[in-house]
């Protein structure tokens, strides 16, 4: 396998920094360009000398934008950008005859209906014709499509934790779901590096609260992908919370339905189905009727999933834990890259974790 020449837009944000760490130990990657308007003309090692211990990429300088030669030489471009910005970069790349692959870690190409994007993000989508060309990059569900893709929309962190947890259950097509209630909790890194009162140490430390409890932007993404699995899914109830920790997501899901009793009566069969569904997936660990913990996935590209049936209330309870920056962002992006270039899915992602 020849080297993959990579460029990164938004390389100084939280997901960009994590991407740099992974790619620095990735055998086949060579980073040729990193963009950051904040740190233009500064060397990576000087900007993040205490937090980013790189080897082969430490002497790269941040640039303000892609040059024509960057576009010509790049085999793959990662976009680690806020809503509305990725489409501007993709437009520029297409206008300059870019021939390589793109992985967008932002939100601009996840939703397949432009009117849904515009409703939830309050912004006009300028590349509607490109939306069908981006594959939704959840490797455990869309592996074949990702392998053949030139453009991948990396899933959001919350949707990753939710969809992976629900996918096996929703694949039981005879079930009908009356309600799917999702309660998610994320570390503060999920908000990125932007400065906001809620994210200041004095406000987040020893604190805990819900945010965007009615219309969080990840709702249409979750609904879109769940409906692709099961037509019985209509609308979900989703409430995110902010934890006073740096990283990680813990999601609790409560599922009710008209024939959910059939599932509860067949609890052992469901557990067996979960195990079989993910038996060949390196990064998914089904822990049966145990409850996953953020500490067990922090610093890894893994997702841990637990399943329980509440006989008293006839509710299915599903729990998942991921690292929001890795499996919820940069780690999953590299997992997608590996699939797109025919590499071992684990390349660059063999991480021991923060608490192991």
DSSP symbols for 277-333: HTTT-TTEEE-TTS---HHHHTTSS-EEEEEEEETTTTEEEEEEEE-TTIIIIIHHH
242: CB partners within 8 A, 6+ apart: 185, 186, 188, 190, 191, 198, 204, 208, 209, 210, 211
Q: End-to-end CA distance of the chain: give it in Å, rounded.
A: 32
Yes or no: say if 286 and 180 are a contact pair by the CB < 8 Å rule.
no
The single residue of 17, 157, 162, 233 carrying the catalytic annotation is 157
Question: Sheet holding 249-256: strands in order across?
Answer: 209-210, 237-242, 179-186, 249-256, 315-322, 303-310, 284-286
Active site annotation includes 80: no
- Name the residue among 264, 255, 335 with its Cα closest to residue 303: 335
So which residues are the catalytic ones? 157
């Amino acid at each position: 396998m020849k080297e993959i020449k990579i460029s990164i837009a938004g390389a100084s944000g939280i997901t960009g920094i994590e991407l740099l760490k992974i790619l620095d130990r990735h055998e086949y990657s060579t980073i040729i360009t990193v963009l950051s308007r904040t740190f233009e003309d500064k060397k990576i090692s000087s900007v993040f000398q205490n937090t980013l211990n790189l080897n082969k990429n430490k002497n790269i300088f941040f640039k303000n934008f892609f040059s024509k030669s960057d576009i010509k030489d790049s085999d793959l471009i990662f976009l680690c950008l806020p809503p509305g910005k990725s489409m501007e970069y993709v437009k520029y790349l297409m206008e300059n005859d870019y021939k390589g692959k793109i992985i967008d870690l932002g939100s601009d190409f996840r939703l397949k209906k432009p009117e849904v994007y515009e409703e939830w993000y309050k912004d006009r989508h300028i590349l509607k014709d490109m939306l069908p060309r981006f594959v939704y990059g959840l490797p455990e569900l869309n592996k074949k499509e990702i392998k053949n893709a030139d453009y991948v929309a990396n899933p959001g962190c919350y949707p990753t934790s939710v969809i992976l947890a629900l996918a096996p259950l929703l694949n039981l097509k005879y079930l009908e779901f009356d309600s799917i209630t999702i309660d998610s909790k994320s570390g503060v890194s999920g908000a990125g590096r932007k400065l906001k009162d809620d994210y200041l140490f004095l406000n987040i430390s020893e604190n805990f609260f819900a945010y965007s409890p009615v219309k969080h932007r990840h709702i249409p993404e979750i609904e879109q992908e769940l409906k692709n699995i099961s037509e019985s899914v209509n609308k979900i109830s989703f409430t995110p919370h902010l934890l006073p920790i740096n990283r990680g997501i813990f999601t609790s899901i409560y599922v009710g339905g008209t024939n959910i009793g059939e599932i509860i009566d067949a609890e052992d069969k469901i557990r067996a189905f979960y195990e079989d569904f993910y038996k060949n997936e390196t990064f998914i660990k089904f822990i049966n009727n145990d409850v996953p913990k953020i500490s067990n996935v922090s610093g890894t590209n893994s997702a841990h999933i637990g399943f329980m049936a509440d006989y008293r209330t006839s509710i299915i309870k599903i729990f998942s834990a991921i690292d929001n920056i890795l499996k919820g962002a940069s780690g999953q992006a590299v997992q997608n890259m590996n699939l797109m270039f025919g590499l071992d899915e684990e390349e660059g992602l063999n991480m021991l974790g923060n608490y192991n």
